[in-house]
């Protein structure tokens, strides 16, 4: 697994069915505790809502998946919400739908549609972006050439993750094609610098 989709931005979406309001809050979350913290925060913010149903998918491979009906009939809220997230192919995402009861029972089918639709509306607003697994390299440069080299590396597709300025300049760069980094750095620096592989990380690719 070298890439996956997540939300381009946090968003919300709302549907109303027979007087009941279904407000979906959709956010990027890196961990299960962060997802649960979002649910807790929305319980406090929307204290007058009857239910706060949730679903989340976490991890580059989407392996961690959880859902909660929060008092709604089993299988009418959390599971349908989770299916919408799965269908969109997104991960590191939590969806929480807060429901204000409008006085009319919707039945199992009506609840499934309402909770699913609220998540779909929020997803449409959020959009998606790709996250790529990049290999990290450190490059030691002199101050005189650092700016030019950094600009050229960016132009040629390397992701500049960080820069530290001391006696020399240390660039931390990332690439999805690590075998190409050495020759590229050699070309751009005239052989004056050699990249050192130091790790991996996930970055937003857009």
Return the closest-CA partner of residue 88 out of 112, 114, 122, 59.
122
**Residue 187, pLDDT score:** 93
Return the closest-CA partner of residue 62 out of 31, 91, 26.
91
* pLDDT above 90: residue 116: yes
- Identical fold at 3-126 and 131-204? no
Place of tokens 């857009």: 206
Give alpha helix (H) positions in the chain: 32-45, 78-88, 107-126, 143-155, 181-189
Chain mean position to CA 90? 8
CB 131 within 8 A of CB 60: yes
Higher pLDDT, 69 or 144: 69
> What separation in angstroms does the CA of 191 have from each of 130, 139, 140, 187?
33, 12, 12, 6
Place of tokens 């040629």: 156
Structural domain boundaries in the chain:
3-126, 131-204
**Residue 206, pLDDT score:** 63
Tokens standing for residue 132: 């790529």
Tokens standing for residue 9: 């931005």
**How far apart, in whole angstroms, are the C-alpha atoms of residue 151 and residue 139?**
14
* pLDDT above 90: residue 1: no
**How far apart, in whole angstroms, are the C-alpha atoms of residue 115 and residue 24?**
8
**If you average pLDDT over residues 160-172, what whole number do you get?**
92
Hey, what CATH class is 131-204 in? Answer: alpha beta
What digits encode the pLDDT tens for the residues 169-188? 999 999 999 999 999 999 99
**How far apart, in whole angstroms, are the C-alpha atoms of residue 36 and residue 119?**
17
CATH number for the domain running over 3-126 = 3.30.230.30
């Amino acid at each position: 697994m070298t890439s996956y989709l997540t939300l381009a931005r946090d968003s919300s979406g709302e549907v109303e069915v027979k007087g009941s309001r279904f407000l979906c809050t959709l956010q990027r979350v890196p961990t299960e505790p962060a997802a649960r913290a979002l649910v807790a925060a929305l319980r406090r913010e929307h204290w007058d809502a009857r239910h706060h149903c949730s679903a989340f998918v976490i991890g580059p491979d989407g392996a961690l998946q959880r859902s909660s009906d929060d008092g709604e009939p089993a299988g009418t809220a959390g599971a349908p919400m989770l299916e919408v997230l799965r269908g969109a192919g997104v991960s590191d995402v939590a969806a929480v739908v807060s429901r204000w009861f409008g006085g009319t029972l919707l039945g199992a089918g009506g609840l499934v549609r309402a909770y699913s639709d609220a998540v779909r509306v929020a997803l449409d607003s959020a959009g998606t972006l790709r996250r790529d697994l990049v290999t990290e390299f450190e490059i030691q440069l002199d101050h005189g050439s650092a700016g030019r080299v950094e600009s050229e590396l960016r132009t040629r597709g390397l992701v500049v993750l960080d820069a530290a300025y001391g006696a020399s300049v240390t660039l931390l760069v990332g690439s999805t094609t690590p075998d190409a980094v050495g020759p590229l750095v050699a070309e751009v620096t005239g052989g004056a610098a050699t990249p050192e592989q130091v790790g991996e990380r996930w970055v937003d690719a857009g």
